[in-house]
Amino acid sequence: MKKTYAFITGGTKGIGKAVAHRLGKAGYPLVLTYGTDSETAESVREELRRLYAVDVHILSADISRKESIGLIGRYLENQDLRIGALVFNAGLTCRDSFEKLKWEDWERVFFGNIHFPVFLLQHILEIGRIEKGSSVVFTGSLMGIEPHSVSLAYGVTKNGVHALVKNLVKFLVPYEIRVNGVAPGFVDTEWQKAKPAEIRQNIERKISLGRFCTPEELADVYLMLIENTYFNGEVIVVDGGYSYK
Ligand SMILES: NC(=O)c1ccc[n+]([C@@H]2O[C@H](COP(=O)([O-])OP(=O)(O)OC[C@H]3O[C@@H](n4cnc5c(N)ncnc54)[C@H](OP(=O)(O)O)[C@@H]3O)[C@@H](O)[C@H]2O)c1
């Protein structure tokens, strides 16, 4: 039976790309959104098509812009795509100190991490582009559980993402849609690789397994949440045994 599409925001790099590979390998046709790097998105599409022989769509849709919601909706309608798995993965941060934090940056992080997925989900339901029995998975963060020492907006919004997962469960019952989240610790993506070696070593010392998670290790958890039909309202922490000691 032909599978419905898996839709992944920020699906062209890091965690999102690893999830796209895992789902592509499992036979899901894919819709991947990204921010600005069209060249990478195109090469990821080609690679996924070649490796798994699945249909792959790519779409630039900035999660910090309200217009992106309508743009995604129109794309799904014009291409006549129906979603069976919806992964809200792309996220924003702002690392200014509390003293230098600007209202606009605080708002941008809240918009991208909270407002955008809520209203995109509402719109996709409204236009009937998501199937009954679908699964929604959010990318949260360990930093939404432990206080984040660097970005107040990031820690607070990722905690909000975890709360969204729990609270959305009842609202999605009428649509027979499940919703879960993954709270990764430290995953070796561009986001983390950009950190200075000393900071990376400090992080590794606090992880019981002594290393960052690979995006591929994490991707298996998304597949499980999508395919195991009894998970609902769960946020799975994948942190290799992190401790603040
Ligand atoms: N890496 C970690 O250790 C870690 C830990 C916990 C949680 N997370 C969460 O995991 C998610 C993915 O992080 P990652 O480390 O995989 O990041 P990444 O490797 O930097 O990949 C980011 C992806 O999101 C897209 N993106 C970036 N800004 C966007 C925007 N404004 N609008 C739409 N798409 C945008 C990028 O596309 P372009 O490059 O084309 O813009 C790319 O496809 C985020 O929600 C993050 O908070 C990461």
What digits encode the pLDDT tens for the residues 199-242?
999 999 999 999 999 999 999 999 999 999 999 999 999 999 99
Asked if residue 144 has its Cβ within 6 Å of ligand 1, the reply is no
Asked if residue 67 has its Cβ within 6 Å of ligand 1, the reply is no
Residue among 186, 189, 221, 236 to mutate when testing ligand 1 (max atoms within 8 A of CB) = 189
**Angle (CA) 145 149 151, round 5°:** 85
CA dihedral 208, 214, 219, 220 (to 10 degrees): -60
Q: Which two tokens stand for residue 99?
A: 């003293």
Active site residues: 154
Atom of ligand 1 nearest to the CA of 9: 34
- Nearest-CA residue for ligand 1 atom 46 is 91
pLDDT profile of the chain (245 residues), mean per 10: 86 98 98 98 98 98 98 98 98 94 97 98 98 98 89 96 98 98 96 89 94 96 98 97 77
Expressed in angstroms and rounded, the spacing between residue 153 Cα and the centre of ligand 1 is 16
Region label for 240, one of left (φ > 0), alpha (ψ between -120 and 50) or beta (otherwise): left
Provide the pLDDT for residue 243. Answer: 79
Alpha-carbon 190 to chain mean position: 15
Provide the pLDDT for residue 193. Answer: 87
For the stretch 137-164, pLDDT in tens is: 999 999 999 987 789 999 999 999 999 9
Provide the pLDDT for residue 60. Answer: 98
Asked if residue 90 has its Cβ within 6 Å of ligand 1, the reply is yes
Residue among 191, 216, 239 to mutate when testing ligand 1 (max atoms within 8 A of CB) = 191
Provide the pLDDT for residue 148. Answer: 75
CB 221 within 8 A of CB 237: no
Asked if residue 117 has its Cβ within 6 Å of ligand 1, the reply is no
